[in-house]
Structure 1
Amino acid sequence: MCFVTEVSFCESKCQKTAKRIKKKNKSNSKIKTFTKKNKKKDSETVIIEKLQAKYIDPSQITKFGDFPLSSKTLKGLRECGYHKPTEIQKETIGLALQGKDILGAAQTGSGKTLAFLIPVLEKLYCNQWTRLDGVGALVITPTRELAYQIFETLRRIGEHHDFSAGLIIGGKDLKFERNRMDQCNIIICTPGRLLQHMDENPLFDCVNMKILVLDEADRCLDMGFEQTMNAIIANLPPKRQTLLFSATQTKSVKDLARLSLKDPSYISVHENSEFGTPKELSQSYVICELQDKLSILWSFIKNHSNKKIVVFFSSCKQVKYIYEIFCKLRPGLSLLPLYVLFATDLAARGLDFPEVHWVVQADCPEDVATYIHRVGRTARYHRGGESLLMLLPREIKMVDKLTEKKIPVQKIEINPIKLNNPVRKMEAFLAKDPTLKDTAQRAFVSYAKAVFLMKDKEIFDAQSLDTNSFAKSLGLAIPPRIRFLQRLNARKENSKNQKNSFNNKANNKTYFTTESDEDDKIKNKSAIHFNKTDSENSASDDDKPTNTPFHVSDDEDSDDDNILKVKRRDHDIELPTDREMADLDMGRNKNKKPITKAAAAKKILKKENCTKEKKSELAMQYEEEDEGGIDIEKAKLVLKEEDKFDKQLFKQKVKAKHKEEKRKLKEKKKKEEEEAKDEFGESESEEEPDLSWLPDPDKIYGEKTEEEKRKLRRNIDNLEEVLKKKKKHKIEQISSSLNVNEAEELAMMLLKNK
């Protein structure tokens, strides 16, 4: 409609101009007017065919317009300010548009997000995808923050397309997502929430899905997401295009086989470059003690107050405490936890923080890949940046590993005069605020756990940490208890003491067998096994063989049939006692060798000598047989016969138990009756009590009237009848109606009647 209105407006303007010229010149010359003709539009199918026929060599591409992209995608790229593609985009977009599987690896900040979002939009456009077709593309990322960033980029460059996109991450309203899953053409998600929808949401259907993208693929496929990703991949259609992107790309055959990649193209634009990180990134490291880290960090922030800084720690609890205490110390610039300034490795992958000047790694990264992703938050898109790595003296080996991966780092020295230590102020804040003190204690323990859980034990050793000094540097007067380290040390001490005690016993005892008794053979075999294991363990621990008084003999000229023998030279033979054999068995149990239930049962039977007597004739015959091995079929029959006697014995035990319970119940009832009789019945003693010492109630309370006496006699008669009939029942009800005087009178009369 706009185009037609514009044409009609041009025609009327030309006619008016012609009339004016005709009046001025007063000539009969005719003025011809030209109208713009509408061009016939090509159908969308023809446009798609033309685009697919334009795939060219990546080396000839200088701008996004050289790619065979739709006008809607190009318009979105222009509006977002994207004009020239980066190296990874040149190499991957053309291959992805042809439908090939891709493994893309490039340095951080090189534009990998557009390298897979553009093919996603073009894939669905060429297939003429509509909202009724359901899910056509899945983009999986390891973190929610990265998923949100990708979604915002897709929303801006795909604004002119008719596709619908959904952000499916944890922490959002699950019901809201569930009701709209069937309307999404492109889903950007994290693995956990996607699997939850696959399992619980009947509206989710990815049967027609065309393209799968894994951003930060090495993190998605590692051990943390292994089970989740296996379950997700099992629900995806086998015929699909798969794109994998990361700065540290996986080449594991196992990982690629899980994804069912078909002849993937591996593209690494910086694989042959001089450095593994961007050239514009200046990298340095400093060696410091653990207790000096916070003072160095504080002084660094104070001296770079006009810079944007990202600081990485090992755990969230460290981030929380450092953020809170530094906010109280007021360094002179704004502080933010998790994202900018203080962060964990959660923010190390994919996130684009604009114009970050410094990346400070207060704690050593787990490996080289983590280091690359951390420093990748600066020096993005050919901009400059700097990084600082703080290392403990033991962690200096990380520098060698970085050098092997072509990462240049330079050592710098810190002037101790310029350091500003805020420990005194921190101690004062912790003394005032118990909550802040608890946060500091949690940060202390979480750092020790993070170091303990690191895989590379050559670099990380939790036992070597100076915990007292580190606690003081956090503002804590006393270091908190690290329970898991205490338990670990206790186990080591127990195992060491046990080894020493056994070695002392072994130096004074001899274990030797030449008898044919089965029990003695078992004892000697256990002694051989334990001493051999103990010597191996001590050799592995101390790199020295243990001096034991035993040696294993397997000579062919031995007189006995046993293969293994234990001998002691130049000493008399002395057999071990039962207590020593029990100690040996305990030591063997703690040598990391599991004991089955059957073995434990045999051990108990041998220890207590409680062999069960066989009652059936078949079992007795089976025991008397002297054949080698076990006849399984015959053993089954024996068990069935013995089971009959066991059931009878069990019934007898149940009956005896019931009889015993009945007997105890009768005794209890009898005892209760006797106690009641003693209380309300006849007294056991026949002699009457001496009541001469009691005062005369008539003198104290006065004499009673005839009416009161009659009433008292009636009550006594009633009470006697009740006692005769029910003995003790309802006495409390009758006696409660009497006052004090009547009660005393009643007591005197009862005593006289007796």
Structure 2
Amino acid sequence: MNFSDLGLDADLLRAVTTQGYREPTPIQRQAIPVVLQGRDLLASAQTGTGKTAGFTLPMLQRLSAGKPAAKRQVRALVLTPTRELAAQVGESVTTYGQHLSLRSHIIFGGVGQQPQVDALKRGLDILVATPGRLLDLQQQGHVDLSSVEILVLDEADRMLDMGFIHDIKRLLKLVPSKRQTLLFSATFSNEIQTLAQQFLSDPELIEVAPRNTTAEKIAQSVYRVDREKKRELLAHLIKQHQWYQVLVFTRTKHGANRLAEQLSKQDIPAMAIHGNKSQGARTRALGAFKSGDLQVLVATDIAARGLDINELPHVVNFELPNVAEDYVHRIGRTGRAGSNGEAISLVCVDEHDLLRGIERLIKQTLPKHIEPGFEPDPNATPQPIENGRRQPNNARSQRKPRKPNERDAAAPKRRARR
């Protein structure tokens, strides 16, 4: 099957061809005809399966057949959990809509709002936004959502994880009840199904991959190592195997900063990306990594979804995530769109329970390795995991207050303020 078989207009097919795409992915084959029909959609697919084009292409076609947006009004609204994902969806809208006369803009926190306000004044056919900043601008009277024809909730499960459920419900009260709603999620959790029942009307159900599975083209393995030797082992593996583009995950922002600094001192160019970094710093780091100028990008789980890096060869879990599902999302950054990828986890004695939980979730026993020279101490005893579920009871009271501009990119499990 070709894209031309899906009912897309010539202008969109030309844009798709320019990007070098010939055959639609499974999610695109199933989703595009449904969206073109105007039906609501509840779709689950692994990251890297092409779901963004699955809703962007038919949305552009439907909007191009209607009247342009009036001042301050929005015709299609795409909500995303993070700034990075918003930027990438916005880039897809621009790329695929390059031959259409549609206005689009991206809105998220962490940057000045005046350019966003100016864009909203003119009216937008497509607005891609994170919930926090959009609500702020709506409350200031800068945006009118009463004319939204198409609403997309992208990475809806991630938005729930990050505590955006109350913001989403407030925004849904501002859009017309008669609209087309598309909900995309990596999993069909009970919470997602409840959300769909509340806000979707007789949706078409699409599930491309079984729940919580990992991509077949990702080679997964574990290196057992003492916690104090993880950094040396990571540097050793990068140099020995000549890994030129590595995405490394840590649990904490401080840990990401420290690891990036230590790798850089060992002549391995590295930068960190997380919620405390300014949007400019995050954009520069991601740009350098994508272009190949930066060898290692160290990230917290804010980057586990939405980072679209073509043919990323290596993902390393420097520390295992506290939530097993996040392992699936982390390693889903590699092995995308048919490419092969490698996911390696450095596991110390503290993380044996976390590893068993991951293996139960993905229904696989991951191969274990011990690198010569980095043999773990067989007598080592587990220590409490920093920022993990085994924190002391008073750990929450010791946390520093979060800065206002982190609202749209806070760590998972944050609860939105009422």
Name the TM-score, length of structure 2 as normaliser. 0.81
| Counterparts in 2 of 1:486 and 1:295: CA distance versus 1, 3 Å | farther
Name the structure 1 match of 2:336: 380
Name the structure 1 match of 2:70: 132
| Counterparts in 2 of 1:228 and 1:483: CA distance versus 1, 3 Å | closer
| Counterparts in 2 of 1:115 and 1:407: CA distance versus 1, 3 Å | farther
Name the structure 2 match of 1:215: 154
Per residue, is there more strand in 1 or in 2?
A: 2
How far residue 249 of structure 1 moved from its aligned partner, in angstroms, is 3.8
2:367 aligned with 1:411, yes or no?
Answer: yes
The 1-side partners of 2:79 and 2:99 are apart by 23
Higher relative contact order (CA 8 A, sep 6+): 2
The 2-side partners of 1:416 and 1:174 are apart by 53
How far residue 462 of structure 1 moved from its aligned partner, in angstroms, is 4.3
Name the structure 2 match of 1:364: 320
2:189 aligned with 1:255, yes or no?
Answer: no
Name the structure 2 match of 1:345: 301
Name the structure 2 match of 1:521: none
Residues 78 and 129, structure 2, Cα contact 8 Å, conserved in 1: yes
Name the structure 2 match of 1:239: 178
Aligned residues: 367
2:248 aligned with 1:335, yes or no?
Answer: no
RMSD: 2.5
Counterpart amino acid of 1:301? I
Deviations 1:661-717 (A, max 9, x none): xxxxxxxxxxxxxxxxxxxxxxxxxxxxxxxxxxxxxxxxxxxxxxxxxxxxxxxxx
How far residue 486 of structure 1 moved from its aligned partner, in angstroms, is 12
Residues 142 and 191, structure 1, Cα contact 8 Å, conserved in 2: yes
2:92 aligned with 1:157, yes or no?
Answer: no
How far residue 243 of structure 1 moved from its aligned partner, in angstroms, is 0.8
* Larger mean Cα displacement after TM superposition, 112-121 or 246-255: 246-255
Residues 86 and 106, structure 2, Cα contact 8 Å, conserved in 1: yes
Counterpart amino acid of 1:129? K
2:141 aligned with 1:185, yes or no?
Answer: no
The 1-side partners of 2:370 and 2:386 are apart by 28
Residues 135 and 184, structure 1, Cα contact 8 Å, conserved in 2: yes
Name the structure 2 match of 1:454: 388
| Counterparts in 2 of 1:223 and 1:359: CA distance versus 1, 3 Å | closer
How far residue 88 of structure 1 moved from its aligned partner, in angstroms, is 0.7
Matches within 5 A, 1:330-729: 330-331=267-268, 334-338=269-273, 339=286, 340-417=296-373, 451=385, 453-455=387-389, 461-462=390-391, 484=395
The 1-side partners of 2:374 and 2:145 are apart by 60
The 2-side partners of 1:329 and 1:162 are apart by 50
Counterpart amino acid of 2:309? F
2:87 aligned with 1:148, yes or no?
Answer: yes
How far residue 408 of structure 1 moved from its aligned partner, in angstroms, is 3.0
How far residue 190 of structure 1 moved from its aligned partner, in angstroms, is 0.8
Matches within 5 A, 1:76-87: 76-87=15-26
How far residue 418 of structure 1 moved from its aligned partner, in angstroms, is 6.3
* Larger mean Cα displacement after TM superposition, 357-366 or 398-407: 398-407
Deviations 1:331-382 (A, max 9, x none): 4xx3232245311111110211122221110111122321111001111111
Name the structure 1 match of 2:283: none
| Counterparts in 2 of 1:485 and 1:229: CA distance versus 1, 3 Å | closer
Residues 32 and 55, structure 2, Cα contact 8 Å, conserved in 1: yes
How far residue 297 of structure 1 moved from its aligned partner, in angstroms, is 1.8
The 2-side partners of 1:317 and 1:167 are apart by 29
Correspondent of 2:213 among 272, 276, 279: 276
How far residue 396 of structure 1 moved from its aligned partner, in angstroms, is 2.2
Rg comparison, structure with higher value: 1
Name the structure 2 match of 1:290: 227
Deviations 1:227-279 (A, max 9, x none): 22222122121111111112224442432244x2111222111228xx91111
Residues 140 and 191, structure 1, Cα contact 8 Å, conserved in 2: yes
| Counterparts in 2 of 1:94 and 1:329: CA distance versus 1, 3 Å | same
Residues 284 and 387, structure 1, Cα contact 8 Å, conserved in 2: yes
Name the structure 1 match of 2:412: none
Correspondent of 2:32 among 80, 86, 93: 93
2:253 aligned with 1:319, yes or no?
Answer: no
Query: How many percent identity over aligned positions?
Result: 33
Give unpaired runs (5+ residues) of structure 2: 274-285, 287-295, 376-382, 399-418
Correspondent of 2:57 among 118, 141, 145: 118
Correspondent of 1:307 among 241, 244, 250: 244
Residues 221 and 229, structure 1, Cα contact 8 Å, conserved in 2: no
Counterpart amino acid of 1:337? A
Deviations 1:173-216 (A, max 9, x none): 2122112203211001111111111111x341121111111111
* Larger mean Cα displacement after TM superposition, 372-381 or 304-313: 304-313
- State the SS of the aligned residue for 2:70: helix
- State the SS of the aligned residue for 2:99: coil
Residues 284 and 412, structure 1, Cα contact 8 Å, conserved in 2: yes
The 2-side partners of 1:141 and 1:204 are apart by 17
| Counterparts in 2 of 1:418 and 1:366: CA distance versus 1, 3 Å | closer
How far residue 222 of structure 1 moved from its aligned partner, in angstroms, is 3.3
- State the SS of the aligned residue for 1:149: helix
Counterpart amino acid of 2:388? M
Counterpart amino acid of 2:272? P
| Counterparts in 2 of 1:396 and 1:227: CA distance versus 1, 3 Å | same
- State the SS of the aligned residue for 1:232: helix
Deviations 1:278-308 (A, max 9, x none): 1111001133332222222222222233431
Give unpaired runs (5+ residues) of structure 1: 1-61, 420-447, 456-460, 464-481, 488-754
Residues 247 and 297, structure 2, Cα contact 8 Å, conserved in 1: yes
- State the SS of the aligned residue for 1:136: strand
Name the structure 2 match of 1:439: none
Deviations 1:551-589 (A, max 9, x none): xxxxxxxxxxxxxxxxxxxxxxxxxxxxxxxxxxxxxxx
How far residue 407 of structure 1 moved from its aligned partner, in angstroms, is 4.7
The 2-side partners of 1:245 and 1:345 are apart by 19
